[in-house]
């Protein structure tokens, strides 16, 4: 009895300790430096506090898409503050052009988030490389909109005005190669939502909570209305969505981003991670299609991947025979029997309007 129990326990231990069957290879493949430069080129010249929020928000692509829909429908930016999205997504929502850009390019946004989750040091190094190239081309100088600061060899970009942040609008295919005119667009308020910043020495995004003011924060702090939506100790540890690594991306869409390094593509990613394990089997959605179609309709998959086969011909019964003696030729019945075309079918003539009854006038004899 005792020996049998020991054998049973040992057998159970062996079952528990047995290796699990191999799963599909969905592990993240690192981006090369040139690939990272191409991904970061559209945002590398953003001011540091906005760049920090974009990097974190990119790890929440589904929330980015939802927030963009919300902002398009709600014109009051203060309504963002009470939403349940990550604090970074709500912060980017205060800059609608940036949020819309991220939502319209979800493959790019997802890849950027995956890169920051797995290669934060490489991502921050890529931004510095791109900024150095823009400065060498004569495009990074202190202006009334943005202050360029050299901090121990790192190029920091700060909002130059205490109350406003200007979102750069530039062509990545030009700004890193040759001198361009001023590339700043509309100005937006600096608010408590800019609670993140870039720590270039530690290669990370960090929460400052508007404390230990320095530089741009020291200038802006008197204009900030502190609220618990953004100034909260729960944000001290910056939360990023690490599950984004499992999310599928159409990497062929990324080949268009080759402004920093022409000829660099993402061919090594094509066809990978097609069998993604749960819970992230949902591909990145095309938001234009989602807005106009019910993509959950099962009928969309009825003929997906195959040519629809023609069915049997539809038999249209002939119309009952028409007796010419009862009213002449019936063009409608003849048309259904294939005897005349629709072009020969004359529409019924409208009935003439009713005429007033003739007045009877009695004429008297003379």
Q: Return the minimum-mean-pLDDT range out of 42-51, 122-131, 154-163, 317-326.
A: 317-326
The domain of 187 spans 33-291
Tokens of residue 30, six digits? 């690192």
For residue 78, being part of any structural domain is answered with yes
- The predicted structure's pLDDT at residue 41: 98
- As a whole number, mean pLDDT of residues 188-217 equals 94
Query: 198 forms bridges with which residues in the sheet?
Result: 205
Helix (H) or strand (E) holding 66: helix 61-73
Residues present in the chain in total: 366
Asked if pLDDT for residue 358 goes beyond 80, the answer is no
**Assigned domain for 37 exists:** yes
Asked whether residue 347 is assigned to any structural domain, the reply reads: no
pLDDT at 85 over 70: yes
Task: Tell me if 22 is assigned to some domain.
Answer: no
Opening angle at CA 70, ends 67 and 75, nearest 5: 125
Query: What pLDDT is recorded for position 13?
Result: 36
Structure tokens belonging to residue 158: 């700060």
Domain-embedded: residue 315 = no
Q: What is the pLDDT of residues 311-325, one digit of tens each?
A: 555 555 554 554 545
pLDDT at 76: 86
Q: Does the residue 250 lie in any domain?
A: yes
- At 279, is the pLDDT very low, low, confident or very high (cuts 50, 70, 90)? very low
pLDDT at 9 over 60: no
Residue 4 pLDDT more than 50?
no
Q: Determine the number of helices (DSSP H) and then strands (DSSP E) in the chain.
A: 12, 6
Q: What is the mean pLDDT of residues 258-264?
A: 93
228-250 tens-digit pLDDT = 999 998 999 999 999 999 999 99
Residue with tokens 């361009």: 180
Give the count of domains, the chain: 1
Position 183 scores a pLDDT of 87
Say how far apart CA 109 and CA 103 lie, in whole Å: 8
Predicted local distance difference test score (pLDDT) of residue 185: 85
pLDDT band of 139, cuts 50, 70, 90: very high
d(CA 273, CA 249): 8
Q: At 93, which helix (H) or strand (E)? A: helix 87-93
More confident residue, 316 or 178: 178
Is the pLDDT at 216 greater than 80? The verdict is yes
Average pLDDT, the chain: 79
Residue 155 belongs to some domain of the structure: yes
Q: What is the mean pLDDT of residues 326-351?
A: 47
């Amino acid at each position: 009895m005792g020996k049998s129990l020991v054998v049973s326990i040992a057998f159970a231990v062996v079952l528990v300790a047995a290796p699990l069957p191999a799963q599909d290879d969905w592990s993240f493949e690192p981006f090369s430096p040139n690939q990272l430069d191409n991904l970061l080129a559209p945002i590398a010249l953003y001011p540091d506090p906005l760049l920090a929020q974009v990097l974190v928000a990119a790890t929440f692509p589904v929330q980015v898409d939802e927030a963009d829909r919300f902002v398009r429908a709600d014109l009051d930016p203060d309504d963002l503050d009470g939403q349940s999205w990550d604090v970074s997504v709500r912060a980017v929502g205060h800059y609608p052009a940036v949020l819309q850009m991220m939502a319209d390019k979800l493959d790019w946004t997802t890849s950027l988030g995956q890169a920051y989750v797995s290669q934060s040091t490489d991502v921050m190094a890529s931004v510095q490389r791109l900024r150095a190239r823009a400065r060498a081309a004569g495009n990074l100088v202190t202006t009334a909109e943005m202050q360029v600061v050299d901090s121990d060899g790192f190029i920091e970009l700060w909002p130059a005005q205490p109350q406003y942040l200007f979102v750069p609008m530039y062509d990545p295919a030009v700004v890193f190669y040759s001198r361009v005119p001023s590339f700043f667009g509309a100005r937006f308020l600096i608010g408590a939502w800019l609670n993140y910043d870039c720590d270039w020495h530690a290669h990370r995004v960090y929460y400052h909570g508007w404390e230990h003011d320095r530089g741009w924060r020291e200038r802006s702090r008197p204009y900030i209305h502190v609220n618990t939506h953004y100034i909260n100790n729960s944000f001290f540890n910056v939360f990023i969505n690490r599950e984004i690594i499992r999310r599928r991306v159409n990497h062929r869409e990324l080949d268009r981003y080759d402004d920093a390094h022409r000829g660099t593509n993402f061919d090594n990613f094509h066809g990978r991670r097609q069998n993604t394990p749960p819970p992230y089997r949902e591909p990145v959605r095309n938001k234009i299609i989602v807005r106009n179609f019910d993509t959950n309709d099962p009928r969309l998959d009825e003929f997906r991947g195959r040519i629809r086969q023609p069915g049997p011909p539809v038999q249209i019964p002939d119309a009952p025979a028409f007796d010419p003696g009862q009213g002449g030729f019936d063009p409608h019945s003849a048309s259904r029997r294939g005897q005349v075309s629709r072009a020969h079918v004359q529409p019924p003539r409208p009935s003439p309007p009713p005429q007033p009854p003739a007045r009877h006038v009695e004429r008297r004899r003379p």
